[in-house]
């Protein structure tokens, strides 16, 4: 990631840790960033994919598929100022490879994160473009069925 740690709010620290741990596949440590009853939303989720998850266990199950499907780095992390240290609005880019197809994956992302007084994530609204994932997961092999599957790759 390309941002610095100086003067980050607790919510901004949570976003940076979320990206660092998720993109390195450290799901157990990643899950500890969330409250036990955290909510994670995907407002632009395609049909067949969960649009809202509740609880740490649901988050782990869902994201296990993400780390198995995409080998990515989070780059160009930046924040939009908020009036609350418990809310972060962040933008970043995921860049890497869709493992099932070997195709390049590039995704500009936007997230809104809310934390509690201890800095744990209580709500994460993940705005991403599912078409980028569909493109990266679509195989060019004429013998294949067409798409490895966004819903299958991310869980449902």
Q: Which H or E run includes 58?
A: helix 56-69
Residue pLDDT, tens place only, 102-139: 999 999 999 999 999 999 999 999 998 888 988 999 98
What domains, with CATH codes, occur in the chain?
A: 10-146 (3.10.450.50)
Sheet holding 103-115, edge to edge: 52-54, 34-41, 121-127, 103-115, 87-98, 70-80
Rounded Cα distance, 35 and 118, in Å = 10
Rounded Cα distance, 51 and 45, in Å = 5
Evaluate if residue 29 carries a pLDDT over 80: yes
Confidence band for 5, pLDDT divided at 50, 70 and 90? low
pLDDT at 153: 52
């Amino acid at each position: 990631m390309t941002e610095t740690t100086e003067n980050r709010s607790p919510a901004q620290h949570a976003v940076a840790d979320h990206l660092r741990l998720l993109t390195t596949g450290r799901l157990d440590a990643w899950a500890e960033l969330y409250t036990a009853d955290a909510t994670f939303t995907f407002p632009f989720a395609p049909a067949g994919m969960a649009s809202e998850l509740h609880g740490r266990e649901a988050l782990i199950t869902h994201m296990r598929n993400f780390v198995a499907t995409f080998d990515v780095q989070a780059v160009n992390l930046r924040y939009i100022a908020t009036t609350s240290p418990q809310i972060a609005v962040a933008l970043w880019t995921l860049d890497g490879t869709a493992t099932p197809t070997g195709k390049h994956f590039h995704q500009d992302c936007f997230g809104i994160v809310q934390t509690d007084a201890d800095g744990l994530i209580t709500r994460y609204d993940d705005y991403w473009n599912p078409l980028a994932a569909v493109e990266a997961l679509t195989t060019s092999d004429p013998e294949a069925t067409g798409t490895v599957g966004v819903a299958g790759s991310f869980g449902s």
